[in-house]
Amino acid sequence: MRAIRIRFLLASVIAVSNGLAIAYWKTGTVDPISAILTYIGVIFLHASVDLLNDYWDHKRGIDDVTTRTKFSGGTGVLPENLLAPNAVYVAGVIFLILGASIGAYFVVTRGFTIAVILGFAVVSIYFYSTSIVNAGLGELFVAIKGAMIVLGTFYVQSMVIGSAALYVGAIVGILSTTVLFVNSFPDFEADRSKGRHTLVIILGKKLAARIFPLFVITAYVMIIAGIFLGFTKVYSLVGLASIPFAAKSIMLLTKDQQSLKFLVPAMASTVAYSRITGFLLALSLIF
Q: Over the stretch 190-220, which tens digit does the pLDDT of each residue have?
A: 888 888 888 999 999 999 999 999 999 999 9
Dist CA 57 CA 102 (whole Å): 28
pLDDT of 88 reads 95
**Secondary structure (DSSP) of 150-195:** HHHHHHHHHSS--HHHHHHHHHHHHHHHHHHHHHTSTTHHHHHHTT
Q: What is the mean pLDDT of the chain?
A: 92
Are 267 and 195 contacting, i.e. CB atoms less than 8 angstroms apart?
Answer: no
pLDDT, tens only, 156-187? 999 999 999 999 999 999 999 999 999 999 98
pLDDT of 138 reads 87
pLDDT of 232 reads 97
Over 90: is that where the pLDDT of 260 sits? no
Dist CA 287 CA 274 (whole Å): 21
276 half-sphere exposure, CB direction, 13 A CA radius = 18
Q: Which residues of 155-174 are buried (b: 16+ CB within 10 A; e: fewer)?
A: bbbbeeebebbebbbbbbbb
pLDDT tier for residue 73 given thresholds of 50, 70 and 90: confident
Over 90: is that where the pLDDT of 87 sits? yes
- The alpha carbon dihedral of 95, 7, 30, 221 has a sign of negative
Please enumerate in sequence order all residues whose Cβ is within 8 A of that of 15, keeping only pairs 6 or more positions apart, or say none: 42, 146, 149, 150, 153, 169, 172, 176, 278
Structurally, at CATH architecture level, domain 6-285 sits in: Orthogonal Bundle (1.10)
Query: For the CA atoms of 231, 233, 234, 239, what is the dihedral angle to 10 degrees?
Result: -90
Can you give the residue ranges of every domain in the chain?
6-285
3-state secondary structure of 259: coil
CA angle, 260 then 263 then 264, to 5°: 80
pLDDT tier for residue 65 given thresholds of 50, 70 and 90: confident
pLDDT tier for residue 61 given thresholds of 50, 70 and 90: confident
Dist CA 209 CA 188 (whole Å): 13
Largest separation between any pair of C-alpha atoms in the chain: 54
Neighbour count for residue 283 (Cβ, 10 Å): 16
Dist CA 227 CA 41 (whole Å): 31
Please enumerate in sequence order all residues whose Cβ is within 8 A of that of 134, keeping only pairs 6 or more positions apart, or say none: 195, 196, 197
Average pLDDT, integer, range 262-271: 94
pTM of the entire predicted model:
0.93
pLDDT, tens only, 88-123? 999 999 999 999 999 999 999 999 899 999 998 999
Dist CA 83 CA 50 (whole Å): 15
